[in-house]
């Protein structure tokens, strides 16, 4: 293109230069956003994207797969945004050639587009290892929305999945598939998971958590072949083991997509070579993102890509300043309920020293690697509260001095000066401290925006700065910054702690607002109450799921993704990865038919251990995960349902033989226990609940250390509440005495419903009564009409709770047979 034609084109565009962006991903569009913020009228911008959609947040593919997000919720820039900013988007039409001499790009459709400046943001390609069967249908990678759609479709058909690769993407894919009900195995070549980000100790803790979620992990496992004549049927390892699979996910890594640059004769190494100004070997062409190689380093994490984007925008706007000099990689695993962070070099070696803190009880592990008195790398598992502070120390590279002795205890104990309030710790961070690693947002920018725009909520901070808008793990820090910046104007519900770091609301406020605002889904609660994370955490999601179940029985659809593996599979996972199955035995009473059915199941599935529990039931230990649907099918066929030994629900109703057999018994305690269990079983509670009925004051069923205990006396039944026989033994409080069996059931249902409606999630009846007082409970239940209303609400909740909603919705004959909650008459 001649200089004259170029100048004529600029005049037609109002004097604006032409900027063409090849790639519509996060890095390229972040550079465009930064450019629009500092020089919005300089360029006429055209963007070519390979995918037929707007720009979306690839970081959130994991919660999209896990059904925690919808695509609309992870979309960063919709089509209206491009139009509003005067950007021409060519979606689904990737560039296939660059003519540097003519300054023209050619798209797959044949369209040619001239440029004055060109930005390469072609990203990376997933690596598919060269093994036989790699081209079979049923093998997918995990890089874009189409890959997620393929995995979702496969999971809807059920079956098993093998994920090849135990890195970040592999584990997030495995978690999402397991959450959708697939039998999932991770095959990893290295000796432990995430070996580039974790040491062996942290990886061991992570592997244990994945096992609790039902994910099998095979380390030191080298893939030899993908099996299947026409489509995937399994994976064979080089040691000869074969793993059945209906889906194989290849997540072994990525490589920079530099093919287009190489064909255009730009200098290329592993990626497109750039200098500190992000300029390629052609001064009119810049590059950004995963396609880039800078100072011998390629980056696959989003934080350094956003740092590059700032430099690109500055250079395109004609501004001088500091260039991109490299970045310290920091990693967070986006698996709900797993707190994990690593940064820098933790390989150790000569001249380095380790500071290690282990708290087995809390599941916390910290390893800090020092060299020459400076922090060089770190691994945090179970407690990532101080991750931003450690990362700041790491990037500053300054000598630790006296700070070294208290370093492992975090920012609150920095230099020996105890700072118990986390807000004081975040207040002490310098303005340049990074708060949101995903979006490269520092403390100073957040504080300045809060003051300038008058922000009062984390949601508003997210909208203005994008802090916490991606993985959400920095939401607690954002809340603390709000509190520090607003001071007395910052308001948290009085008299209660927040549910978690995702929200300033306490349990009681959330329950009240769910009813007052008629909020009937988890996303609706989070949106209306301005949750500071996109999809909550392992603390708030189960709580919200329970509160909605309790508030809207029959309307709210129980969310399996908000529950851990035990409640999803109706079985307790054991330390060896097998499961424990406990069928319900009404009041501890059984029959020859039930015992025969149990014996048949034990033999048929080679269950190694059968044990009588303390709750007068039989526990089948060592059940393989793949056998669980069949085990429950066979038990259901004999009329046996789940004993909820895994659940926040009624566990057992313990009884003695009572007056029917015992010479001391005054009333039929067994019949009463069976009646109470048939009335109360199946309903989700704030925590586990245990009942007992004793036939006389000798109390052989230990009714006075149960959540609800009934003791028969000559003149009727004494009712006791709030007992606990666990680690902290608490004797019951005597609630009242009644005369008839119907009154026992009425008071029991009313008491449990009061507990369900008022207790906080994971609060047992004992601490609940200690908090609110027995007088409060007695007062709420003393009025006959109110007591009857509580009882009616309890029975209404039971009508929906005693049928398994997941089995009803599941597809396939095997899932239909898996009905451990199937309705039982009586």
> The tokens of 522 are what?
């988890």
Kindly report the number of other CB atoms within 10 A of residue 332's CB atom.
Answer: 26
Annotated binding residue at 656? yes
Number of H helices, E strands in the chain: 28, 38
| Strand-strand pairing, 223-227 and 374-381 | unpaired
What residues pair up with 90 in beta bridges, in sequence order?
Answer: 48
CA distance 651 to 795: 18
CA 714 and chain centroid, separation: 54
Phi and psi for 811 in degrees, rounded to 5? -100, 150
In 3D space, the residue among 754, 771, 769 whose CA is nearest the CA of residue 722 turns out to be 769
- Cα distances (Å, whole numbers) of residue 743 to 475, 748, 789: 49, 8, 14
> The tokens of 591 are what?
């029959």
Question: Which residue has 């074969």 as its token pair?
Answer: 242
| Strand-strand pairing, 716-721 and 733-738 | antiparallel
- 3-state DSSP helix/strand/coil % of the chain, to nearest 5: 40, 20, 40
CB 500 within 8 A of CB 337: no
Annotated binding residue at 436? no
In 3D space, the residue among 306, 384, 793 whose CA is nearest the CA of residue 549 turns out to be 793
- Cα distances (Å, whole numbers) of residue 66 to 60, 182, 533: 10, 11, 16
CA distance 480 to 6: 52
CB 532 within 8 A of CB 502: yes
Annotated binding residue at 662? yes
Nearest 10 degrees: Cα torsion 583, 584, 589, 595? -20
CA distance 597 to 586: 16
CB 259 within 8 A of CB 269: no
CA distance 243 to 245: 6
Task: Kindly state the DSSP code that residue 718 receives in the 8-state scheme.
Answer: E
CB 500 within 8 A of CB 537: yes
Contacts of 777 (CB under 8 A, 6+ apart): 721, 735, 751, 754, 769
Annotated binding residue at 537? no
> The tokens of 282 are what?
């052609």
Residues recorded for the chain: 826
CA distance 466 to 737: 59
What residues pair up with 235 in beta bridges, in sequence order?
Answer: 226, 243
| Residues in binding site | 656, 662, 696, 700
| Residues in binding site for siroheme | 700
| Residues in binding site for [4Fe-4S] cluster | 656, 662, 696, 700
């Amino acid at each position: 293109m001649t200089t004259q034609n170029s100048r004529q084109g600029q005049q037609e565009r109002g004097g604006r230069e032409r900027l063409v962006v090849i790639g519509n991903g996060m890095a390229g569009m972040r550079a465009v956003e930064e450019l629009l913020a500092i020089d919005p009228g300089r360029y006429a911008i055209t963007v070519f994207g390979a995918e037929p959609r707007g720009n979306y947040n690839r970081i959130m593919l994991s919660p999209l797969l896990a059904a925690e997000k919808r695509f609309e919720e992870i979309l960063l820039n919709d089509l209206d945004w491009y139009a509003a900013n005067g950007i021409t988007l060519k979606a689904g039409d990737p560039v296939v050639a660059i003519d540097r001499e003519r300054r023209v790009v050619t798209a797959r459709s044949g369209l040619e587009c001239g440029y004055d400046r060109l930005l390469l943001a072609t990203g990376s390609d997933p690596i598919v290892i060269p093994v036989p069967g790699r081209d079979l249908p049923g093998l997918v990678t995990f890089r874009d929305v189409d890959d997620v759609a393929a995995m979702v479709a496969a999971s809807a058909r059920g079956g098993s999945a093998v994920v090849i690769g135990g890195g970040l993407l592999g584990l997030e894919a495995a978690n999402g598939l397991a959450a959708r009900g697939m039998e999932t195995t991770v095959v990893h070549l290295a000796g432990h998971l995430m070996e580039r980000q974790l040491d062996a100790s942290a990886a061991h803790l992570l592997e244990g958590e994945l096992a609790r979620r039902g994910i099998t992990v095979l380390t030191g496992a080298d893939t030899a072949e993908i099996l299947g004549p026409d489509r995937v049927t399994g994976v064979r390892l080089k040691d000869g083991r074969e793993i059945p699979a209906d889906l194989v996910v290849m997540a072994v890594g990525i490589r920079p997509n530099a093919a287009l640059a190489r064909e255009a004769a730009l200098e290329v190494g592993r990626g497109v070579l750039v200098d500190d100004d992000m300029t390629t070997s052609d001064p009119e062409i810049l590059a950004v993102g995963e396609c880039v190689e800078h100072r011998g380093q390629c980056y696959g994490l989003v934080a350094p890509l956003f740092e590059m984007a700032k430099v690109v925008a500055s250079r395109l706007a004609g501004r001088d300043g500091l260039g991109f000099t490299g970045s310290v990689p920091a990693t967070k695993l986006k698996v709900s309920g797993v707190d994990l962070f690593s940064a820098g070099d933790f390989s150790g070696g000569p001249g380095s020293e380790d500071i290690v803190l282990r708290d087995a009880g809390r599941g916390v592990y910290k390893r800090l690697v020092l060299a020459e008195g400076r922090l060089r790398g770190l691994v945090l598992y179970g407690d990532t509260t101080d991750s931003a502070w450690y990362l700041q120390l790491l990037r500053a590279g300054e000598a630790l001095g006296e700070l070294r002795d208290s370093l492992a205890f975090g920012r609150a104990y920095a230099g020996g000066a105890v700072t118990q309030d986390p807000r004081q710790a975040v207040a002490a961070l310098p303005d340049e401290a990074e708060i949101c690693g995903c979006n490269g947002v520092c403390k100073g920018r957040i504080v300045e925006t809060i003051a300038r725009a008058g922000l009062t909520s984390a949601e508003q901070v997210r909208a203005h700065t994008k802090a916490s808008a991606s993985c959400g793990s920095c939401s607690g820090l954002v809340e603390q910054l709000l509190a520090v910046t607003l001071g007395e104007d910052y308001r948290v519900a009085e008299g209660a702690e927040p549910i978690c770091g995702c929200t300033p609301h306490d349990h009681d406020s959330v329950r009240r607002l769910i009813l007052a605002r008629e909020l009937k889904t988890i996303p609706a609660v989070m949106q209306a109450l301005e949750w500071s994370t996109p999809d909550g955490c392992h603390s708030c999601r189960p709580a919200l799921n329970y509160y909605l179940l309790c508030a809207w029985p029959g309307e709210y659809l129980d969310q399996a993704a908000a529950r851990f593996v035990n409640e999803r599979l109706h079985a307790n996972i054991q330390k060896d990865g097998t499961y424990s199955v406990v069928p319900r035995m009404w009041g501890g009473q059984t029959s020859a038919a039930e015992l025969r059915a149990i014996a048949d199941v034990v033999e048929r599935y080679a269950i190694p251990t059968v044990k009588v529990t303390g709750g007068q039931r039989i526990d089948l230990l060592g059940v393989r995960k793949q056998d669980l649907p069949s085990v429950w099918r066979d038990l259901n066929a004999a009329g046996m349902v789940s004993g909820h030994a895994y659940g926040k629900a009624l566990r057992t109703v313990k009884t003695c033989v009572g007056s029917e057999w015992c010479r001391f018994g005054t009333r039929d305690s067994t019949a009463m226990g069976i009646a109470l269990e048939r009335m109360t079983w199946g309903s989700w509670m704030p925590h586990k609940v245990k009942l007992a009925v004793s036939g006389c004051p000798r109390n052989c069923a230990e009714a006075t250390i149960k959540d609800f205990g009934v003791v028969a006396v000559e003149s009727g039944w004494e009712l006791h509440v709030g007992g606990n026989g666990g680690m902290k033994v608490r004797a019951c409080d005597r609630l009242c005495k009644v005369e008839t069996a119907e009154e026992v059931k009425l008071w029991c249902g009313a008491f449990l419903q009061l507990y369900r409606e008022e207790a906080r999630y994971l609060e047992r009846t004992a601490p609940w009564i200690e908090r609110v007082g027995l007088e409060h409970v007695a007062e709420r239940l003393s009025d006959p009409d109110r007591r009857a209303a509580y009882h009616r609400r309890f029975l209404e909740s039971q009508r929906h709770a005693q049928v398994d909603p997941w089995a009803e919705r599941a597809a396939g004959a095997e899932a239909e047979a898996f009905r451990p909650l199937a309705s039982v008459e009586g």
